[in-house]
Structure 1
């Protein structure tokens, strides 16, 4: 029979996994919404309108990362530690956190708001300054959202965070699409439509804050009276927030930071290279079509990475080395299979997917190269999650910072020569560089890399998928054209490619039965495996 201590540990583990499941589900929903709305939005405003919005989106993306994964994680850790020490009242602590984040958020708001003109000039488009001023208001909401989410997550109460995230994204997407449609149809400029879309993002953040305040007020009666702030509390909170909080945040910011680099100087570089203003805007807008593809391709990986940190951290702290190795190997295998399958499959259907979603096939070659980023982004998110779980919080942040600088430098060299193809190649190269650094760091942390047999089976699965996709898509090359024909070609290709890849992965035993169990519907897929085509060695 289990002792009381074992039962308590099982209860804590069950509570942890339930919380992770709730946050993962809300994260998947919000990421899908965040990626999908860009398609109808681009259809409403066109490539130039899409360029306008994408120029300022990274600023909002930074706010989202800070208020969803960076600061709340740091706050939740502090709350959990305080509760473990027997301190059940968090009102005074919350005041200290809110004071620090309030000063930080207000400072960022003032900095962005009053330098909007200079930022717009740096981007090469002074007409963007009103949009930048509008999006800067998001920084004022960040302290409230971050602090309350962190407190509830530290208590193991994930529903307030999950609900606020889903409602924020739902309201945001609805407001963006409705406002942009109304403004474009009303004859307003594309810059006005872009500002309306940015306002929709700020509105979504306000709804999230309102939901969290409601939960806080509703549960406030159980809190003890707040005491005066003590300097030690403020100092401790500041150290945790700006050390571990921002370090964790940078790992989830990798894609947004790369977008920010492109926003700062890609349009200006295109103009300096000889493209006219309108042509450069359109080229940047076409290049930005890659963002929805990249986001959708990394949804599963980013959600899986969210699971990794607490699970691996728990195994690491308990000293269960064997269990830790199993978790890490499973994470590496699944993320690699997902990333590679999504990247290769998307490249195969890109001509039709581009037309289906964005009305024409312009920029298909650029977007195909850009799609390779899915694999590297998946690796970065997974490697970062593993390293953070092992207590190496700052390693991913340093690697990502180096990769962002490399991206900036490669843009300067390649964009004037190759246009947006140079920007795509720079993204792939810089993400590959970050992946390599993190892979080396994992090896130094005594984490076993995947065996060659695994990559051999993966290559065969990818080859089979690519071959079947080429056969399928050739049916639509002759005698079919336009957006209507691209829909069955792209959707049918997606279904066929996924089915062939999963079938081959199951038959080749790419994953073990336990690893298939971590994949949605994986147990059913594992049932497809027959005699191992590549021998009996386990992968």
Structure 2
């Protein structure tokens, strides 16, 4: 009997981790698409058009976070608990979930749609009101998307969530680029192009909803049962969704909330400081170039470390403290190495990357400072996942909320005096503050921190990479190579050189163990280099 139980648990574990891999791959794909499309979009509409879209995007980002991570995670937990207890997922339970989400989605739609003029006034640009009203319709799609994704995830089927996420993002990106290109080249205003782009985002959500409904009708497991629809059940479901679901969601909203603060603040504060209307819009648009860099850097840096989070959850649930500490330590090391390398490398080649992607080098200094936050955002996402994995669901939400409030206060103080450089510095300082709160909490949970020796070796690796990239930069300046054409080999070559030097330094200084290299893509091959003592001899 015991053998059968262990076999069943092994099958459940394999199914769980296969689902996690599917969701991780789809999440990486959607995040890359979300970051990359901004480059051609900015090239189509320019800095002012980019500013217009970025002002409204955070509202859509909130919908995505709620329907992709927050609510589905809470629903899947309720479904899994019911099935583990031998209870079927009755239609009445799904009805209660949909009532709570439906009321929430409709309430958010009404709130955003009706306050759009006031919100646009807070942003300092009343022409944004129609765009805000357009994006508010995405809240109406949230209940169905969240409920169906949560149901399938709770039953261990991650494919519908992954498929709907990728299709939603693909349709959204294609629609944004097509609508904006057509509207701009047809002589419409940049605000009309922005509204077309926002409509493209809503269209992507509608496609995702349609796909999920079809999959639910065809494959969804649901029982008619005798369970009655009760208002007491509504209260329980509401508590789980609106407390735990929102708490989980806030961790995924880190970047979006910071963008939202900047949308409310930067343009209005620049105007109050005496900056002209068109110049302020352009400055905000240039500042927004930092978002693709931050998103891509965070995807690369955090995806590997976050793959460890399911392992951390499993070790915690089984009470294996030694293995748990080991997994947390590895997650910290990997996220720090990759996050620091991504941030430092990007700062060094920013002049090339900015020109290659956005046609000119305007705002390079601001974007360089902004890129430092890649390291801190990587820490935050990784540490949030770790704390949630050990059952500390609400702590990450509290820390991130505190950091967002600090960002708001620093913007108020620094933007009028230092412009967009002040906003970039406020982002870095606020994310550092959140990171420190997470580190303190992790120490209180009796997890060891990375030693000073590790950070010393890491700094040596970063210095080696920086020295090589500065020589690379000097050669381009020395031979008079400039402009967008020269920036392409400058950025791509710099990326290759910097990555190679950094990886070799990390290997030479033994920053990762052989087992930890196995957690990194192609890490086994890189670990093979480590086994050679740099002279062709194998280590004993």
Normalised by the shorter chain, which TM-score bucket? over 0.9
Matched, 1:313 2:313: yes
Matched, 1:254 2:254: yes
- The answer (yes or no) to whether the contact 2:77–2:154 under 8 Å persists in 1 is yes
1:460 Cα deviation after fit: 1.5
Matched, 1:520 2:521: yes
**Pairing of 1:220-369 with structure 2 (within 5 A):** 220=220, 223-224=223-224, 228-304=228-304, 306-369=306-369
Instruction: Give deviations 1:348-385, integer Å, cap 9, x for gaps.
Output: 00001000000000000000000000000000001111
1:493 is matched with: 494
Inter-CA distance 162–196: structure 2 relative to 1 (3 Å threshold): same
**Pairing of 1:367-516 with structure 2 (within 5 A):** 367-477=367-477, 478-516=479-517
- The answer (yes or no) to whether the contact 1:91–1:226 under 8 Å persists in 2 is no
1:502 Cα deviation after fit: 1.1
**Pairing of 1:180-259 with structure 2 (within 5 A):** 180-220=180-220, 223-224=223-224, 228-259=228-259
1:39 is matched with: 39
Matched, 1:167 2:158: no
- The answer (yes or no) to whether the contact 1:23–1:162 under 8 Å persists in 2 is yes
- The answer (yes or no) to whether the contact 2:305–2:334 under 8 Å persists in 1 is no
Normalized against structure 1, the TM-score is what? 0.97
- Aligned counterparts of 1:330 and 1:493: Cα–Cα separation in 2: 28
SS of 2:530's equivalent in the other structure is coil
SS of 1:402's equivalent in the other structure is helix
1:4 Cα deviation after fit: 2.2
- The answer (yes or no) to whether the contact 1:509–1:532 under 8 Å persists in 2 is no
Instruction: Give deviations 1:223-264, integer Å, cap 9, x for gaps.
Output: 435754122321211111111110111011011000000000
1:503 Cα deviation after fit: 1.5
Normalized against structure 2, the TM-score is what? 0.96
- The answer (yes or no) to whether the contact 1:287–1:366 under 8 Å persists in 2 is yes
CA RMSD for the aligned pairs?
A: 1.5
1:481 Cα deviation after fit: 1.5
- Aligned counterparts of 1:341 and 1:220: Cα–Cα separation in 2: 44
Structure 2 residue ranges without an equivalent (≥5):
535-540
Instruction: Please identify runs of 4+ aligned residues in structure 1 that moved more than 6 A.
Output: none
Instruction: Give deviations 1:131-160, integer Å, cap 9, x for gaps.
Output: 000000010000110111011111110000
1:302 Cα deviation after fit: 4.0
1:220 Cα deviation after fit: 4.8
- Aligned counterparts of 2:302 and 2:141: Cα–Cα separation in 1: 24
1:222 Cα deviation after fit: 6.0
- Aligned counterparts of 1:89 and 1:423: Cα–Cα separation in 2: 48
SS of 1:447's equivalent in the other structure is coil
Structure 1 residue ranges without an equivalent (≥5):
534-539
- Aligned counterparts of 2:153 and 2:305: Cα–Cα separation in 1: 17
Instruction: Give deviations 1:58-107, integer Å, cap 9, x for gaps.
Output: 00000000000101000000000000011133422111111100000000
